[in-house]
Structure 1
């Protein structure tokens, strides 16, 4: 199987090269370019493509891929909302993903965002480097005894529940498929109204698009902390800005952003940011943004590479497909 690997980052190469070292029947060609209508031609002559979260796989791209002989789409991530599944089905393209590479990695990143925002360690770090040891403006709060609402209790949400139980937090969960555990299962309105901290861990669907909007903010406590490490479009960014301005939203931690495909995973330090909404968001002192690095651990990258290789081998050898989306 010859695989065209799009949106290649140099940090991925050692993990995929190690994973494929003993499999001569799998050949990967790495492209730095993201997959799009303009770059799909690069896949000509390959059997499969391997893509990440911000590659564009719409109906036009899929039609072009199919005409070039592509029969498989390998996602090296869990989410697949960037793939037009009906179009893939119409062209008989297999779609496989990495369903769970390290739930703990993302859950621990959530905790890092929570603690950084609540204890203001990022501000303290900068102060101390300038010999400023003044504590004024750094007052934080305990996670112990706070109510933390988790929207979506899959593997990542469950991992976060386990960590929060160690902090002594009161954990609420809203998920139609949640099983009983060391948390309280409740409805979304109750979670929004009772939580001091809210963390989002649900997939992006038509039902969850802009789940957090003006109406949702109106139900929340004043000064609530909101964390999103799932998909950017779960939040209405303009609604977040309004909530920050009125102080309804006291803390915002983001590892994802609705229009991140134009920003994340690239160095734009020598450019002028053209995204006015993003610029406004990061201008607030109580907003912390990381560039989709929640998954970014050695353990997660190893699992991503190994599972992607497994998916490729199963297709290549005609075996049952463990991680098939379509």
Structure 2
């Protein structure tokens, strides 16, 4: 199992932190770069990581896909861009593409970003009743249409992933509610996730197993890990307290999930891919960072990596990090 961090495409203090933690793998998000899915862009990113002693294993960024999700004009052009990305990932040797579905066009929503946790650390939360007072998104799509559009996408893209030797890793909806601001959500339950995997039965069509989302769904997280088994290609290690309609992001050791049991389940199913901490609380003097509200501040991730390493050792898992 490879303990990883989400990193920008160019070296900064986060790259240094990863190496000082003894990590050898990274996950990249391109944070606003244009047309980063070209061969040359991905090759340069992959080589930057290699030149700094890091393996780039996951692309966790997405070309535009709103027309694809909604079944609008232009979806075939969007899908062709995804295929181009997959082909180029295969050419440069990046194994996993983490993507989302019905987060397009709504995205990830939170209603609070200053909820206090232990020691006056701060975290985010979601309240569905408050969120739904806001205006609906200006789209007209039914749940049935979203399922049809998803099947169309998978029939086009999974063969391209198979040919490229790249794993598709679908991330659940966040928050995993039935509908958000008038837009139905699909990736919001264990049953729907299984249905999506069954739409195209391929080892290359799998999951980003985001523990916080499965916990918010009310799922038994270790049981879900065992259910999806070798279809898990990438893990977000995080936790929450609450339900789909109302939850708070927690410290990794204070949520509703038995995190050691989760690690033991990964060992049982033979998961050996990248796993990274996600959505950490904000600690002292981290308000200056541009991403201070986004759950990716550094001190919380330091705590999370140490906690994960301890759980791995207790569960008898060998870390792929140095």
Query: When the two structures are superposed, what TM-score results if normalisation uses the length of structure 1?
Result: 0.32
Name whichever structure is richer in strand by fraction. 2
Instruction: State the structure with more CA Rg.
Output: 1
Which TM-score applies when normalising by structure 2?
0.32
